């Protein structure tokens, strides 16, 4: 099995540059997820690793071999696409065996690999069925099984769950997690726009924006210590609340003035600079709690109450010009629309960003 190393990888279509100097090392056996908004370049980057897109600049190595000019069939990779891409006239068995037959593998070896992959993916009872007789989740598992049968160095997944309904997405995501556990030495690279998939599957997440890497790290590292506003707001649902602030008192325990006149201390590891400097204050919806004391961060009127059972989302108006502040309260909160409430959070749950959107380290 193998790792993947990208050095200053760039991609342009004519004069339009879409990937801007990506440097990334993916270790053998890692499950790495590329996430980012539509158009950020995550699928393009995956296709460059697969060899389906040419590399404009930089070097790419798979298993220590430079593969810039190596065709897809010689890279030792297998790719699972968003569409299942199954042959409708072939059985599940034949779909999974097709690539090996084209490669003229031994018949006994083909049978061994197909049945082993079917066992891992719980497809053994369906080997004689045609794709039309399968559910969407089963078809996607056949596509994954076809990739497993090739015994690749690297697995590539391009939004494989996007065509499934909510229940099937959860079930198939669990199957992929089990697959990863059963193949601990296999390198897997997974593209998704769904952060739940990223947070639950990844060893490391690569957050992309406009063809550049914003941050690479373990899921909880990105959640707890985002490098900038983009990552802070992209990771987490609902997104982190962000308010403009002014530095009231600089230092390791920086005091900032929030909208409404309230001042609060944000513990940081570096000096935030001179008094009066502008910045941004962040707190996640799930870190907010209703306060009945004077230790609150801010207060505001509840404009919308969304009771979801396991949590209640409260939308608070009057603090931000662009969008309401959201508080995510556990369970069923006895709150009515129009109430004015105060909200608090622990100091270690607060985030502070400079004028360029870079975080002050905590």
Is a pLDDT exceeding 80 seen at residue 336? yes
Q: What sign does the CA torsion over 238, 240, 242, 248 have?
A: positive
Report the C-alpha gap between 109 and 347 in whole angstroms: 60
Among 25, 147, 11, smallest CA distance to 68 is for 11
Query: CB of 126 within 8 A of CB of 149?
Result: no
Measured between alpha carbons, how far is 76 from 74 in angstroms, rounded to an integer? 6
Distance CA 272, CA 246 (A): 11
The pLDDT tens digits of the residues spanning 161-196 come to: 887 777 778 888 888 888 888 888 889 999 998 888
| Chain center to CA of 87 | 30
Measured between its terminal Cα atoms, the distance across the chain in Å is: 38
Q: What percent of the chain has pLDDT over 70?
A: 95
Residue 34 has pLDDT above 90, yes or no: yes
Global confidence as pTM: 0.87
Bond from prior residue into 238 cis (ω within 30 degrees of 0): yes
Domain locations in the chain? 4-234, 241-353
- What CATH code would you report for 4-234? 3.40.50.300
- Whether the domain at 4-234 and the domain at 241-353 fall into the same CATH topology: no
Residue holding tokens 């045609």? Answer: 130
Q: Sheet of 350-353: strands edge to edge?
A: 263-267, 253-257, 241-249, 278-283, 350-353
Q: What is the pLDDT of residues 210-242, one digit of tens each?
A: 999 999 999 999 999 999 999 999 999 899 999
% of residues, the chain, pLDDT over 90: 51
DSSP element (H, E) containing 180: helix 166-182
> What is the CATH code of the structural domain delimited by 241-353?
2.40.50.140
pLDDT above 50 (res 68): yes
- Phi and psi at 258, nearest 5°, equal -85, 160
At 305, the pLDDT band (50, 70, 90 cuts) reads very high
The phi, psi pair for 40, rounded to 5°, reads -80, -15
Residue 80, judged by CB atoms within 10 A of its CB (0-12, 13-18, 19+), counts as buried
């Amino acid at each position: 099995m193998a790792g993947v190393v990208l050095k200053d990888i760039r991609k342009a279509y004519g004069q339009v540059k879409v990937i801007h100097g990506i440097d990334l090392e993916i270790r053998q056996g890692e499950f790495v997820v590329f996430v980012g908004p539509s158009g950020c370049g995550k699928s393009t980057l995956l296709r460059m690793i697969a060899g389906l897109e040419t590399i404009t600049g930089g070097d790419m190595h798979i298993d220590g071999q430079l593969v810039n000019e190596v065709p897809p069939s010689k890279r030792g990779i297998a790719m699972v696409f968003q569409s299942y891409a199954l042959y409708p006239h072939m059985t599940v068995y034949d779909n999974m065996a097709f690539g090996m037959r084209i490669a003229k593998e031994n018949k006994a070896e083909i049978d061994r690999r197909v049945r082993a992959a079917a066992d891992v993916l719980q497809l053994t009872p369906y080997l004689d069925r045609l794709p039309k007789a399968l559910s969407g989740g089963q078809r996607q598992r056949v596509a994954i099984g076809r990739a497993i049968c090739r015994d690749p160095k690297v697995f590539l997944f391009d939004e494989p769950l996007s065509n499934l309904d909510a229940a099937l997405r959860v079930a198939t995501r669990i199957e992929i997690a089990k697959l990863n556990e059963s193949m601990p030495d296999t390198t897997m690279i997974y593209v998704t726009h769904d952060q739940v998939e990223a947070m639950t599957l990844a060893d490391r997440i690569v957050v992309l924006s406009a063809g550049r890497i914003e941050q690479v790290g373990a899921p909880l590292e990105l959640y707890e210590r985002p490098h900038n506003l983009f990552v802070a707001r992209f990771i987490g649902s609902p997104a982190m609340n962000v308010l403009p602030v002014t530095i009231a008192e600089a230092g390791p325990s920086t005091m900032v003035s929030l909208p409404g006149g309230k001042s609060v201390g944000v513990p940081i590891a570096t000096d935030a600079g001179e008094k009066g400097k502008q910045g941004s204050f962040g707190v996640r919806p799930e870190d907010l709690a209703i306060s009945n004391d004077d230790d609150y961060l801010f207060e505001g009127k509840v404009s919308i109450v969304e009771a979801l059972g396991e949590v209640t989302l409260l939308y608070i108006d009057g603090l931000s010009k662009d969008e309401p502040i959201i508080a995510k309260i556990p369970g069923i909160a006895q709150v009515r629309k129009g109430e004015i409430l105060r909200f608090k959070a622990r100091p270690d749950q607060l985030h502070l960003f400079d004028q360029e959107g870079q975080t002050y380290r905590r």
